Structure 1
Amino acid sequence: MQGFFGFMSLLSWALIIFTGFAFIDAATRREDAYRAADKKTKPFWLIILGIAAVLPWIFGILDFLPVIGLVAAIVYMVDVRPAIKQITGGGGRRGGGSSSDGPYGPYNGGR
């Protein structure tokens, strides 16, 4: 029985970390990108993901509410986040573009 509760504790922490990451990611994105991607609003996603991050602390992993929060975080990560990244330029940098881009577009080496 102790192994089961250890596994559930690890699963609960994984859920908290995943939803927390989704919340932080949503908080760092621009408000206008949500509207441009036609994906609700930034405050909507912050409220949903904030509640999703807190639910495992309140109810534990065995209740159904943290699972609903997990579904919301998954929807954000696989649908909303890629659409917003595409609008804002994606990539690892917030400004987007590649390291060879000049001020007027990609640098092609004088060709």
Structure 2
Amino acid sequence: MQGYVALILGVALLALQVFAFVEALRYRTDAYPAAGKLTKIAWSAITGVAVLIGLLSLNSPLNIFELLATAAAIVFLVDVRPALRQVLGKDNAKGGRGPYGGW
């Protein structure tokens, strides 16, 4: 039972890391410096390494390397991605906000 729980957790963390990697590749190269973040190559490498670590740690997701890889993916998703979305004007997920504020 414990092995199945570890595998499910490993797959969930890997999915998070793959999502962060795909999102890092999706944004334009010039948006990263405009948002005041590391370059696209740097974030693609960081999240790519996180995916590789996630693949290697699939059965043991609570080791230090997997935790660091997950932390890197989370930092990208909660810090870098919103800044990129704001720079590119794709932050319309707030609902009802136009170019001059809320409705």
C-alpha separation in 1, matches of 2:62 and 2:70: 13
TM-score by length of 1: 0.77
The superposition leaves residues 19-39 of structure 1 with CA deviations (integer Å, 9 ceiling, x where unpaired) of 000000110101111000110
Aligned length: 95
Question: Residue type of the partner of 2:83?
Answer: A
Q: Which residue in 1 is equivalent to 2:25?
A: 27
Q: Which residue in 2 is equivalent to 1:12?
A: 10
Q: Which consecutive unaligned segments of at least 5 residues does structure 1 have? A: 93-97, 107-111
C-alpha separation in 2, matches of 1:11 and 1:54: 16
Identity of aligned residues (%): 35
Within the candidate set 40, 46, 49, 2:47 is matched to 49
Indicate conservation of the 8 Å contact 2:82/2:91, yes or no.
no
C-alpha separation in 2, matches of 1:33 and 1:45: 12
Within the candidate set 36, 39, 55, 1:38 is matched to 36
Indicate conservation of the 8 Å contact 2:17/2:54, yes or no.
no
Q: In the TM superposition, what is the alpha-carbon distance from 1:56 to its structure 2 partner?
A: 2.2
